[in-house]
């Protein structure tokens, strides 16, 4: 059993109210930007983006569909991904001719999203953009173009609101910073 979150939480970085306020703002922006798009599909990257996608789509007032892509990236160290990315679950429906918005929890080194972008761009979408809740820009190793960012965050390992530690704590309604010394595994999903 994992310890109660209070034991591994250093501090709350973004509380639930701030998350929801910012998500409403992004939802408004997306609703404006895609007002005339004939077909919008939001693709959630599993599993971390599930809470974000669920809250974000409720703030979007243009017709849209959702789909999911499950990706796994391995790190050489617990807090880094190495660029070795693989697909665990592919999209259900083709995206050819659709306006695609990728919805991600966090961009760290950028390797995962770089891979996803290259993969999806071969499938002739009408447009392809990225929306991420969190951006750890200091850690970027490969440039990825991001259209919507919820929050820029410092270089610390965070959890909650979809982001896990060993698959737990995704249900927390806030983003928290993990205490120094908590053991983290090598596979991100």
To which H or E segment does residue 73 belong? strand 64-74
Taking CB under 6 A as the rule, which mask of x and - marks residues 21-60 in contact with ligand IMP?
A: ---------------------------x------------
Residue 157 binds which entry of Mg ion, ligand IMP, none, CB below 5-8 Å type-dependent:
ligand IMP
Q: Which residue is nearest to Mg ion (CB)?
A: 48
Residue 110 binds which entry of ligand IMP, Mg ion, none, CB below 5-8 Å type-dependent:
ligand IMP
Binder of ligand IMP out of 34, 52, 111, 148 (CB under 6 A): 111
CA distance linking residue 69 with residue 103, whole number of Å:
10
Binder of Mg ion out of 8, 23, 41, 48 (CB under 5 A): 48
Minimum distance from residue 96 beta carbon to ligand IMP (Å): 25
Q: State yes or no: residue 107 binds ligand IMP (CB under 6 A).
A: yes
Q: What are phi and psi of 131, to 5 degrees?
A: -125, 120
CA distance linking residue 93 with residue 166, whole number of Å:
30
Instruction: Identify the burial level of 5 via C-beta atoms within 10 angstroms of its C-beta, where 0-12 means exposed, 13-18 middle and 19 or more buried.
Output: middle
Check if the beta carbon of residue 73 is closer than 8 Å to that of residue 85.
Answer: yes
Closer by beta carbon to Mg ion, 34 or else 104: 104
User: Does residue 137 sit in helix, strand or coil?
Assistant: helix
Farthest-apart Cα atoms in the chain, separation: 49
Binding interface with Mg ion (CB under 5 A) = 48, 105
Binding interface with ligand IMP (CB under 6 A) = 48, 73, 81, 104-112, 157-159, 163, 188-189
């Amino acid at each position: 059993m994992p310890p109660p979150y209070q034991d591994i939480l250093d501090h709350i970085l973004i509380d639930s109210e701030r998350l929801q306020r910012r998500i409403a703002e992004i939802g408004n922006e997306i609703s404006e930007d895609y007002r005339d798009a004939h077909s919008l599909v939001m693709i959630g990257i599993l599993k971390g983006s599930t809470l974000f996608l669920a809250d974000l789509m409720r703030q979007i007032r243009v017709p849209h569909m959702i789909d999911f892509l499950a990706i796994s990236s391995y790190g050489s160290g617990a807090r880094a991904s190495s660029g070795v990315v693989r697909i665990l679950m592919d999209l259900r429906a083709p995206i050819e001719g659709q306006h695609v918005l990728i919805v991600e929890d966090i961009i760290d080194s950028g390797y995962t999203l770089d891979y996803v972008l290259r993969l999806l761009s071969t499938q002739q979408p009408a447009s392809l953009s990225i929306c991420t809740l969190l951006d750890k820009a200091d850690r970027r190793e490969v440039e990825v173009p991001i259209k919507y960012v919820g929050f820029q965050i410092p270089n610390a390992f965070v959890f909650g609101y979809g982001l896990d530690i060993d698959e737990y704590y995704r249900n927390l309604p806030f983003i928290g910073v993990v205490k120094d010394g908590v053991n983290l595994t090598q596979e991100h999903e």
